[in-house]
Amino acid sequence: MTNPPRTSEDEELDELDLEAQRRGPDDVDVEVEVFDAVRGNTNFPVQPVRLTADDTFNFRCHNGLACWNKCCHGADISLAPYDILRLSRRLKMSPAEFLLAYTVPAIHEKADLPIAKIKTGGDDGRGPCPFNAAEGCTVYEDRPATCRYYPLGMVSVKMKDMEGKDDFFFLVKEDHCLGHCETKTQNVGEFRAEQDVADYERVNRGWVDILMKMASWKVMGGPMGKAPSPQTKKMFFMATTDVESFRRFVFGTKFLDNYDIDPEAVELIKTDDEALLLLAFDWLKAVLFNEPTLLLKEQVLQGAIAKARETLGAS
């Protein structure tokens, strides 16, 4: 039996495996924080006051307020992978169609990785969000995580010498937002439950981990002192924004020949988009940081090591 011809995507996959082998499975110990639920850059505290789940605040948003919809104009909304999945499903579009119609490409500043942001109207980008209407948010049940958190911001922090990372919340008080003058009191935990953020946090966790880790490596020039190649960044964007393209990549290349993936998991990712996203994060952690989240099959691994040694000039 002859092997099927190699595609350019197979070549890319080999190159990414090789790039991972050149890096060590390592970590860097610097302080880093990633703000991942802030809708604008204005007026959020430079030194956020940490709120715990039990801390209370006054806030109520409703259409009787003079500020109704103001916060949906000129909002700077980064979309996490699960946001894109939920919104494209709701709008009955493929992720690629959704990205083209409603987003602009951007760079996550701290991590230096490509992400998508909602394309707001107006020449200066200060116009309305495309999902904003007089009656409010037209995609409310599937609105992005950042919109759910508002007026809370979320920060993931890794302190020097700290094992894992820590998430905390803080209150964003923008001048135009009158919801803070309302008398409704709730604690952070109650507000988060009301906003139904659990699925968003569960699915997006791996993406936030990658941003955090890349941000912490950035001061060293990238993982093991080497910035990811443009090709790796392109694959990061594809895998984290477009599950359909990533599924075609997994099933249309040597991906499943290269990586050791449980047959049941392979069946699952044929149809389960959330499971596929989790696989994407594991794969990216392996490629970017050489983490053991997804293992190369032994034969492939030996080949990649030999090739890496060759390109590094080792005997």
Residue type, 45: P
Counting contacts by CB under 6 A, is residue 70 touching ligand SF4? yes
Q: What is the DSSP string of 154-174?
A: EEEEE-TT-SS-EEEEEE---
Q: In terms of CB distance, is 23 or 39 closer to ligand SF4?
A: 39
Three-class DSSP category at 34: strand
Which residues inside 24-43 make contact with ligand SF4, applying CB under 6 A?
none
Which residues inside 224-263 make contact with ligand SF4, applying CB under 6 A?
none
Dihedral sign for Cα 21, 25, 27, 33, please.
positive
Q: In terms of CB distance, is 127 or 303 closer to ligand SF4?
A: 127
Counting contacts by CB under 6 A, is residue 89 touching ligand SF4? no
Give helix 230-241 / helix 8-22 axis angle, nearest 10°: 110
Counting contacts by CB under 6 A, is residue 184 touching ligand SF4? no
Counting contacts by CB under 6 A, is residue 277 touching ligand SF4? no
Going along the chain, which residue ranges are E strands?
32-35, 56-58, 78-79, 103-108, 113-118, 132-133, 136-137, 152-158, 166-171, 185-187
Counting contacts by CB under 6 A, is residue 145 touching ligand SF4? no
Counting contacts by CB under 6 A, is residue 93 touching ligand SF4? no
Counting contacts by CB under 6 A, is residue 309 touching ligand SF4? no
Q: In terms of CB distance, is 43 or 231 closer to ligand SF4?
A: 43
In the complex, the residues that contact ligand SF4 under the rule CB under 6 A are 61, 65, 67-72, 75, 77, 129, 131-132, 137, 139, 143-144, 147, 150, 176-179
